[in-house]
């Protein structure tokens, strides 16, 4: 990236051109109006830029990028700004404007026969789910921010969430893409085809590229049959290995019927029961580890519940599951999931925390949790591991609460050393330092520590081939590679 820094006059000239192109709704420069788009989602960092463009169609996005490229001004694409790694943050040194996609919010087509829908980048994930449901289909991506994140951001960051076990990450849910390239050209790769073997799979390059190769303006998404039956189970585990056994046995008995398998540690239940009003432990005693499982079937009367009851009985008999509850109603299932969703908020009430988004092979989750617990206790005695998340796909949010009574700032100062150690352990087990949140700005240095030189070089070559001027989301993902 040897791009010269654009001067203030260049920004002013571009702003005038974009105002003429997009109209007054299409350019925001008023500091108060701009402020929420400049603040990173956890409120940790605040960016700065002269203005933000809000094109309302793919043609307007294309013309915006063409004009920006002409001016030598870089572009930071932004969706719902709910990301966890500052991927949509624009800093002064980026010499960039924000381009927000929220006005591209058309659902262009829903086709239940082809099991496909085409949506624009600015559609809220929950709206996409609802449009699919209205056509009696399922769009399975589901995550905490679904009420405000946008599908374009989900695509750019390859969003994961709680249903990856069954349906994969969003990259597995895409049939086609429409992308505006850094020079303002439009690549129309939209398609409802299930089979098309006529060249390189370009769409997967843009998915998960965090806006460093172009701006995704629309996507054709896969739809699935809607569940007709659903069973939620809250299960106490004899130990961590019992979690793996249960996962395998339940998948076996239901033919891969699990759509979620979440790990909930005793400490997270303790915090939640203490801090979140209305929380109820589904079981009578306290246990160190639990699984929250959900299985679904698209076939009514499939015997799903009976199959899972047999699995539990067998595990109970062998002493691997001391207790368990099967939701008897939709309300009870919701109460189980309320506990899972309250974990994050509950941890905040217990003071400062240091977070991770690691993954390891599913079989290695118990080893990881034991090694990491030992290592972080050695680095910071009294630290309270609070690991929760997606056991079914090996993605654990390895959060750590401060020792009681320690000054939060002193604890947070330990973050780099602790994170580095946790990442070492995950990678040594064949794992990843970022399972679903991406790299953005926050994990650049750590990523560079682990990526092989060969892979860094390949990524750099792809970046230079598609964005030779380095105008797309500078300073992110591939910046230090």
Q: Closest CB to its own copies among 129 and 456?
A: 456
Q: Does 47 help bind its own copies (rule: CB under 8 A)?
A: no
Q: Does 309 help bind its own copies (rule: CB under 8 A)?
A: no
User: Residue 384 is inside which H or E element, if any?
Assistant: strand 384-390
* 125 Cβ contact list (under 8 Å, min separation 6): 141, 143, 145, 146, 147, 149, 150, 151, 154
Q: Does 154 help bind its own copies (rule: CB under 8 A)?
A: no
Strands 52-53 and 96-100: parallel
Dump the DSSP string for 199-236: S--HHHHHTTSTTSS-EEEEEEEE-EEPPSEEEEEEEE
Per residue in 415-453, is it b (16+ CB within 10 Å) or e — as a string?
A: eeebbebbbbbbbebebbbbbbbbbbbbbbebbeebbee
Task: Report 104-133 residues binding its own copies (CB under 8 A).
Answer: 111-116
Q: What is the largest CA-CA distance in the chain?
A: 75
Q: What percentage of the chain's residues is helix, strand, coil (to nearest 5)?
A: 40, 20, 40
Among residues 61, 123, 151, 164, which is the contact residue for its own copies, using CB under 8 A? 164
User: What is the nearest approach in angstroms of its own copies to the Cβ of residue 180?
Assistant: 10
Q: Does 362 help bind its own copies (rule: CB under 8 A)?
A: yes
Q: Closest CB to its own copies among 15 and 296?
A: 296
Q: Closest CB to its own copies among 146 and 352?
A: 146
Neighbours of 406 (CB within 10 A): 17
- Calpha distance 152→155 (Å, rounded): 5
Q: Closest CB to its own copies among 6 and 160?
A: 160
Q: Does 379 help bind its own copies (rule: CB under 8 A)?
A: no
- Applying CB under 8 A, the span of 12-20, 284-292, 357-365, 400-408 interacting with its own copies comes to 357-365
Beta bridge partners of 400: 354, 385
Among residues 78, 81, 118, 251, which is the contact residue for its own copies, using CB under 8 A? 251
- Calpha distance 161→167 (Å, rounded): 10
Q: Does 216 help bind its own copies (rule: CB under 8 A)?
A: no
Q: Alpha helix (H) ranges present in 58-150?
A: 58-71, 125-134
User: What is the nearest approach in angstroms of its own copies to the Cβ of residue 323?
Assistant: 24
207 contacts 177 by C-beta, under 8 angstroms: yes
177 contacts 218 by C-beta, under 8 angstroms: yes
Among residues 312, 342, 360, 441, which is the contact residue for its own copies, using CB under 8 A? 360
383 contacts 376 by C-beta, under 8 angstroms: yes
User: What is the nearest approach in angstroms of its own copies to the Cβ of residue 192?
Assistant: 4
Which string of x and - marks every residue 311-350 that binds its own copies (by CB under 8 A)?
A: ----------------------------------------
Among residues 379, 412, 462, 469, which is the contact residue for its own copies, using CB under 8 A? 462
Phi, psi of 253 (to 5 degrees): -70, -25
Q: Does 186 help bind its own copies (rule: CB under 8 A)?
A: yes
Q: Does 394 help bind its own copies (rule: CB under 8 A)?
A: yes
Sequence-ordered strand ranges (E) for 223-310: 224-225, 229-236, 258-265, 289-297
- Applying CB under 8 A, the span of 22-30, 313-321, 390-398, 413-421 interacting with its own copies comes to 390-398
Q: Closest CB to its own copies among 290 and 443?
A: 443
Among residues 125, 155, 268, 466, which is the contact residue for its own copies, using CB under 8 A? 466
Q: Does 134 help bind its own copies (rule: CB under 8 A)?
A: no
Q: Does 158 help bind its own copies (rule: CB under 8 A)?
A: yes
**What SS3 class is residue 53?**
strand
**What SS3 class is residue 160?**
coil
Q: Closest CB to its own copies among 328 and 453?
A: 453
Among residues 24, 43, 200, 277, which is the contact residue for its own copies, using CB under 8 A? 200
Residue 468 is encoded by which pair of tokens? 């030779």
Q: Closest CB to its own copies among 26 and 182?
A: 182
User: What is the nearest approach in angstroms of its own copies to the Cβ of residue 151?
Assistant: 17
User: What is the nearest approach in angstroms of its own copies to the Cβ of residue 390?
Assistant: 8
Task: Report 66-105 residues binding its own copies (CB under 8 A).
Answer: none
Q: Does 143 help bind its own copies (rule: CB under 8 A)?
A: no
Residues binding its own copies: what is the number (CB under 8 A)? 96
Among residues 225, 351, 385, 403, which is the contact residue for its own copies, using CB under 8 A? 225
Closest CA to 58 of 214, 200, 193, 208: 214
Q: Closest CB to its own copies among 15 and 115?
A: 115
Q: Does 256 help bind its own copies (rule: CB under 8 A)?
A: yes
Task: Report 409-448 residues binding its own copies (CB under 8 A).
Answer: 430-439, 443, 447
Helices vs. strands in the chain: H and E counts, helices first: 16, 19
Among residues 22, 73, 88, 165, which is the contact residue for its own copies, using CB under 8 A? 165
Residue 98 is encoded by which pair of tokens? 């924000």
CA dihedral sign of residues 378, 380, 382, 383 = negative
Q: Closest CB to its own copies among 255 and 408?
A: 255
């Amino acid at each position: 990236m040897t791009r010269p820094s654009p001067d203030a006059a260049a920004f002013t000239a571009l702003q005038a051109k974009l105002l003429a192109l997009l109209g007054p709704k299409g350019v925001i420069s008023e500091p108060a109006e701009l402020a929420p788009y400049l603040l990173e989602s956890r409120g940790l960092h605040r960016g700065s830029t002269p203005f933000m463009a809000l094109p309302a169609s793919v043609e307007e996005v294309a013309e915006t990028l063409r004009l920006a490229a002409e001016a030598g001004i870089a572009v930071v694409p932004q969706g719902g700004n709910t990301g966890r790694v500052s991927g949509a943050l624009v800093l002064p040194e980026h010499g960039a404007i924000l381009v927000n996609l929220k006005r591209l919010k058309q659902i262009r087509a829903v086709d239940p026969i082809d099991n496909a829908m085409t949506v624009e980048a600015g559609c809220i994930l929950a709206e996409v789910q609802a449009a699919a449901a209205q056509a009696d289909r399922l769009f399975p991506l589901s995550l905490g921010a679904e009420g405000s994140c946008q599908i374009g951001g989900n695509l750019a960051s390859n969003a994961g969430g709680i249903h990856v076990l069954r349906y994969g990450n969003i990259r597995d849910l895409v049939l086609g893409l429409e992308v505006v390239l850094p020079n303002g050209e439009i690549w129309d790769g939209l398609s409802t085809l299930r089979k098309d073997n006529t060249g390189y799979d370009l769409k997967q390059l843009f998915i998960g590229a965090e806006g460093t190769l172009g701006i995704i303006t629309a996507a054709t998404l896969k739809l699935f049959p809607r569940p007709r039956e659903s069973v939620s189970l809250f299960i106490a585990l004899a130990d961590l290995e019992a979690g793996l056994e249960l996962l395998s046995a339940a998948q076996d008995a239901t033919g891969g019927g699990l759509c979620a398998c979440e790990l909930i540690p005793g400490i997270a239940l303790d915090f939640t029961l203490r801090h979140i009003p209305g929380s109820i432990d589904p079981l009578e005693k306290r246990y160190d580890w639990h699984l929250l499982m959900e299985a679904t079937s698209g076939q009514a009367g499939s015997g799903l519940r009976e199959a899972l009851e047999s699995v539990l009985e067998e595990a109970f008999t062998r002493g691997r599951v001391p207790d368990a509850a099967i939701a008897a109603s939709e309300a009870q299932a919701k109460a189980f999931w309320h506990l899972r969703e309250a974990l994050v908020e509950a941890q905040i009430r217990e003071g400062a925390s240091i977070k991770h988004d690691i993954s390891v092979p599913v079989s290695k989750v118990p080893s990881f949790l034991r090694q990491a617990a030992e290592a972080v206790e050695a680095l910071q005695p009294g630290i309270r591991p609070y690991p929760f998340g997606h056991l079914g796909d090996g993605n654990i949010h390895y959060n750590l609460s401060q020792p009681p009574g320690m000054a939060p700032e002193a604890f947070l100062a330990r973050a780099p050393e602790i994170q580095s150690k946790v990442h070492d352990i995950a990678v040594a087990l064949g794992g990843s330092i970022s399972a679903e949140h991406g790299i953005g700005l926050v994990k650049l240095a750590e990523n560079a520590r682990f990526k092989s030189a060969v892979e860094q070089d390949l990524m750099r070559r792809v970046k230079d081939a598609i964005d030779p001027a380095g105008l797309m989301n500078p300073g992110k993902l591939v910046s230090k590679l």
